[in-house]
Structure 1
């Protein structure tokens, strides 16, 4: 047991050395409560056009089906917060892009460093079977991070950490080695309802429950068809994603700064005005968003968002 604890702490220490802001460990097992809640959410069609949420349901709630013989889910957090982001809070007179998308594609950054962590773990443990993930497979990342003691799932459905806030990405290693497990932390949202009160589309329809079909992030990224007229005004000046429910969260008053420089905002993405986005060509789109998560919204979708925001800003 002492050896197991020592190995666990060595992995955690190495994760922090690599630049992750936190690392926790949870036992890999079937998630019956989460399976019930997810099934209910899907049956209510709160996922909208994200049909992929229906795929691999069994694997989504049981990591041992993703990695046969899995015993441990190692979760890591990587902050993307930057001082520049504080200047963007509350801005209403120019287009905004969600903070997480202003730097390099987080999938690339986290996977690169998770591979290093996996290699380190393999060297320590010998033969190791497992996989790494970062929002790239049917993994309930927030649930596993919560079980690993890295925070609690708040009323806006984001993972919240008392020391880090919520402006971070989550990654996992699911491995077939048994390690020492962390304990979940308690909920610290209390009676606060700032996220519910601030959401322009009422997407947070009750504490801890989000209707994705009303969420600005969904409307500006995942929804392929035109945004319904009733929500076009509500997206305000967001041309890609939304940070409102995180900006108002008290726990983000002490967000830690990103250690991975690739996650820092790129000025040529964060500081553009409406005129630039309105005149953006396909070629400029490809050049500006090279290696960026924003490419998930194709050119036509992005330009449609810009058109809606332009109309909204002209009415201010």
Structure 2
């Protein structure tokens, strides 16, 4: 018999595709038992550096019912951001996710539409949308719902699409059909570990957040330690090294989200242009970009450090 859970699951996955998400997986909203000791150890070893917010809401990170009362399902979504073109060779580098419009706004918009659709089509469903802005372990949920496995660089990897995508989720109080996790396909490969210039991947599947180039160039508010001088390989905002070398990313295909297209000047800028960048140019190029997080002075600090 065609039950409601099956019908609603189909509806939700079809709508996810219509909204432009590349994949949608669903898992049962329950306490993340396996993640609890891992997260606790990571925090106890101070792998979060100055990211104090990682210590907040420990229980909420592990139990979706503390975020959405009566939570039954976690709908995990992937949105592709792999660009058509990348920056020039003679440029300081930005992480690809920051080329276009700030993903928080782009995805939040889609998720609002998604929740509206669920309420219109299915009825009163309680739920919340999350995109990297609340205590939700999005990679763990995406892996639980079969969208990929967590690789040795601690990113979610998919055999079909690699890892250049954003992860978001809806936690809702509606029972659905649940997907099953996929197996790990990293095998004996250590490309990401070997390529990381700051040795942030200190063991397979374990990343020291406080040693990552992304942390130094975005999260760190104090000056970058002199001991890291010469290790950044021209990355001025974020870092894609462990993704660029991952064999699964040969399957990445360009996104089709116009809002993620870069400002036309961005791809043309040389190192000299970045060194001379004015506050006005910064504001123009990064008007609605995630790069705004580091601010003009932060980006200048990063560029000076690379000089």
Tell me the TM-score range normalised by the shorter chain. Answer: over 0.9
- Structure 1 residue runs of 4 or more that deviate by more than 6 Å after TM superposition: none
Return the match for 2:301 from 282, 301, 304. 304
Does the residue aligned with 1:137 lie in a helix, a strand or coil? coil
Shift in Å, 1:269: 2.4
Shift in Å, 1:81: 0.8
Shift in Å, 1:230: 1.2
Q: Which residue is equivalent to 1:314? A: none
Superposed, 1:157-168 pairs within 5 Å as 157-168=154-165
Q: Describe the superposition over 1:69-88 as per-residue Cα deviations: whole angstroms up to 9, x where unpaired.
A: 11111011000012213x76
Q: How many residues align?
A: 306
Q: Which residue is equivalent to 1:135? A: 132
Does the residue aligned with 2:265 lie in a helix, a strand or coil? helix
Query: Structure 1: which 5+ runs fail to align?
Result: 312-316
- The alignment status of 1:7 with 2:8, answered yes or no, reads yes
- The alignment status of 1:69 with 2:70, answered yes or no, reads yes
Return the match for 1:240 from 237, 240, 243. 237
Q: Describe the superposition over 1:99-146 as per-residue Cα deviations: whole angstroms up to 9, x where unpaired.
A: 000011000111111111111111222011111011010000000001
Superposed, 1:186-265 pairs within 5 Å as 186-265=183-262
CA distance in 1, matches of 2:201, 2:265: 32
Shift in Å, 1:282: 2.2
CA distance in 2, matches of 1:192, 1:122: 45
Shift in Å, 1:266: 2.8
CA distance in 2, matches of 1:232, 1:79: 32
Question: Greater shift after overlay, 27-36 or 277-286?
Answer: 277-286
Return the match for 1:148 from 141, 145, 150. 145
Shift in Å, 1:47: 0.4
CA distance in 1, matches of 2:17, 2:209: 33
Q: Which residue is equivalent to 1:278? A: 275
Q: Which residue is equivalent to 1:123? A: 120
* Alpha-carbon contact 1:97-1:270 (below 8 Å) kept: no
Q: Which residue is equivalent to 1:41? A: 42
* Alpha-carbon contact 1:20-1:259 (below 8 Å) kept: no
Normalising by structure 2, what TM-score? 0.97
CA distance in 2, matches of 1:112, 1:301: 28
CA distance in 2, matches of 1:196, 1:22: 27
When the two chains are superposed, the root-mean-square deviation of aligned CA atoms in Å is: 1.3
Shift in Å, 1:246: 0.3
CA distance in 1, matches of 2:295, 2:36: 32
CA distance in 1, matches of 2:18, 2:67: 28
- The alignment status of 1:21 with 2:22, answered yes or no, reads yes
Normalising by structure 1, what TM-score? 0.94
* Alpha-carbon contact 1:99-1:265 (below 8 Å) kept: no
* Alpha-carbon contact 2:84-2:255 (below 8 Å) kept: no
